[in-house]
Amino acid sequence: MNRPFTDVDYSELEKRLDALISDSPAAVSALANSSALIFEHIPDVSWAGFYVRRREELILGPFQGKTACIVIPRGRGVCQAALREGKTVVVDDVTAFPGHIACDARSRSEIVVPVKYRGEVVAVLDIDSYSPGRFSGADAPGLEKLVGVVEKTVGDRISGLV
Ligand code: SME
């Protein structure tokens, strides 16, 4: 029997992520393994990865899934909304989100969590699904915990990636 998506054990994933990346000598390795862990263990995800901030743009970082847009210009897409607002953005129906960038035409819902260093957004974690409304209430706080591990691990090293 399929378990409902709300059964993702984010506390367990948080521990696993910490064990996996906390000793990483390079930020790129930590982000690569973070995207792989998320893609493997969170069901019904079509794409999971990071965009790293370079001034006002977001540049594609480590990810799992199909090829994606390399540069997200200022003001465009869900990712830039999360950068601008400095908080998690959940979109139940991407076709109704003005400015959404469809890297994969089948994408239907999306969640973007900002990654911060000293209060500034330095990257975003972007996760897409082919199912509408995939990212329910439990996912935002759970993914924010995972991003907390990433922030603790990569800190100021993330900006040097792009
Ligand atoms: N949909 C995103 C762009 C990145 S892809 O989903 C991987 C956005 O609107 O910002």
Vertex 158, ends 109 and 34: CA angle to 5°? 50
Distance from first CA to last CA of the chain, Å, rounded?
43
Pocket test for ligand 1, best of 52, 70, 78 (most atoms within 8 A of CB): 78
H-run or E-run covering 52: strand 47-54
Share of the chain above pLDDT 90, in %: 90
Q: Which residue has the tokens 């959940």?
A: 90
Is this prediction's pTM over 0.75?
A: yes
Asked whether the predicted pLDDT for residue 115 surpasses 60, the reply is yes
pLDDT one-digit tens code per residue, 4-59: 455 799 999 999 999 999 999 999 999 999 999 999 999 999 999 999 999 999 99
Q: Where are the domains of the chain?
A: 10-161
Tell me the mean pLDDT in the region 85-93: 97
User: Selecting from 3.30.450.40, 3.40.50.1100, 3.30.460.80, 3.40.190.10, what CATH number does the domain 10-161 have?
Assistant: 3.30.450.40
Residue 80 CA: which ligand 1 atom is closest?
10
